[in-house]
Amino acid sequence: MKNYKKSIDKIVLALISTCILACSSDKKPLNPEGNKELDLSIMIPPGGNSWVINSIEQDAVLIHDSGIHNWTALDDIIRIYFHTKLTGELHLGLNIKSETGPSTIKVTVGNTTKNVAVDNTTYKNVEIGRFDITKSGYNFIEIQGLQKKGEYIGDINKILIGGPATASGISFVPEEFSFHFGRRGPSVHLTYKMPENKDVIYFYNEITVPQGEDVVGSYFMANGFGEGYFGIQVNSDTERRILFSVWSPFVTDDPSTIPDDYKVILLGKGEGVTDGSFGGEGSGGQSYKVFDWKSENTYKFLLKGEPSVNNSTDYTAYFYAPEESEWKLIASFRRPHTNTYLKRFHSFLENFSTHTGFISRKGKYTNQWVYDTQDQWHELTTAKFTADATARNKARLDYAGGVKGNSFYMRNCGFFDENTTMNIEFSRTSNGIKPNIDFSSLPNLGSQQN
């Protein structure tokens, strides 16, 4: 019996030893939260998907195409946005370093926050953990510094995610897409259905920006036409503009290369209007008036276009503010090598600031009319909704447009979940009240007329 017991004891010891050897030979790293390795197979480039949400100035310092750098302030709040089709568990890691001394950061997804120590001085994949995604659509990862011993909190090279919440795919601005346009967000457009067989000489439109939607970087473009555009902008916290531009027929992004006979000529401008040229997205003549327009006020836009001398067309823009109760001349330009009345009427909403692409903005576009060469007004009540390449390539999905009563509306940026099918047509309720404008009393071009 004693020999039998000894044999059993030897077998048990052998099994225990085998288990210890098997466990110690497993080469997979252990996650701090359990014995299953995190799935970090998806890389989100922070350069195209991150913002410092509490400071536009710091956003310009921290967010670069190559990642998040120069991070020194503990009160900077950084958000990385992504879109999921599913809810469920999200696995998260960061490719990060803290080369000037150990630091501690906090990482939040949804209602869960984890504090993470970073002490590696070269880039390393650091597992953050598991989080619950409780809604499909846009979600964000929020990162903030808690402690630092060196000058910098850390540098983040990559955002790494995976897990069940990503099983049906996710959307974000990919590396192969322009981070500049991805961070600006999608632009949205309305193209108005025109009366057939009419030569149109005037185009009238109205815009109201709801309270809180007048975000820095917004261009609420009212009167777009085949050769230019006219609308209002939010240029900074302290400056707003009325902007009117006409493209040159010479296609270039550098206005200095336009031959003299293709240059857009200024015929005249209103009081306080600055004129010049523009480039970067085509080139041509530009004018703007600094004007502190307000949300909730309705502003009126009137554009005139008609053939002129020597195979040219003259375009003139007028602006009506309720604060001033009269039509003001913005500018008049002559476009060479062009002989046409107004055509291709459209409006758009865009964000031209990469630092505010995480903030939603919205505009109401109301009461569109055109006036033809037979002295007849025609109301425009149907428009097709489209969006730019950022939306078409699914780099950003936060774009929308539609109708509410007698107004069209457009909305973009801000990572809202609902979006609108592109190329769909909308029809608004007709107002039936023609604009009451005495064309003969509109301000003339003054002493700068050519």
User: Using CA of residue 122, residue 124, residue 128, residue 133, what is the dihedral sign?
Assistant: positive
Q: In a 3-state reduction of DSSP, which class is residue 61?
A: helix
Residue 45 and residue 353: Cα distance in Å, rounded? Answer: 19
Residue 302 and residue 349: Cα distance in Å, rounded? Answer: 18
Q: What is the DSSP letter of 379?
A: E
Fold equal for 42-175 and 183-448: yes
Q: Tell me which of 19-33, 172-186, 284-298, 398-412 is least confident.
A: 19-33
- Phi, psi angles (nearest 5°) of residue 68: -105, 115
Please name which of 91, 211, 190 lies closest in space to residue 400, comparing C-alpha atoms: 190
Task: Look at residue 110 and tell me whether its pLDDT is greater than 60.
Answer: yes
Residue 315 and residue 382: Cα distance in Å, rounded? Answer: 24
Fold category of 183-448 in CATH: Jelly Rolls (2.60.120)
Q: pTM to 2 decimals?
A: 0.89
**Domain 42-175 falls under CATH 2.60.120.260:** yes
The structure tokens listed for 2 are 């004693």
pLDDT in tens, 54-88: 999 999 999 999 999 999 999 999 999 999 999 99
Q: Tell me which of 133-147, 158-172, 298-312, 433-447 is least confident.
A: 433-447
pLDDT in tens, 225-274: 999 999 999 999 999 999 999 999 998 888 889 999 999 999 999 999 99
Nearest-5° angle of CA 358, CA 236, CA 364?
A: 65
Residue 84 and residue 197: Cα distance in Å, rounded? Answer: 47
Kindly provide the b/e burial profile for residues 127-163, where b requires at least 16 CB atoms within 10 angstroms of the residue's own CB. bbbbbebeeebbbbbebbbeebeeebbbbbbbbbbbb
Q: Tell me which residue has tokens 């390393």.
A: 124
Enumerate the domain spans of the chain: 42-175, 183-448
Residue 180 and residue 242: Cα distance in Å, rounded? Answer: 24
Residue 145 and residue 54: Cα distance in Å, rounded? Answer: 14
Q: What is the DSSP letter of 32?
A: T
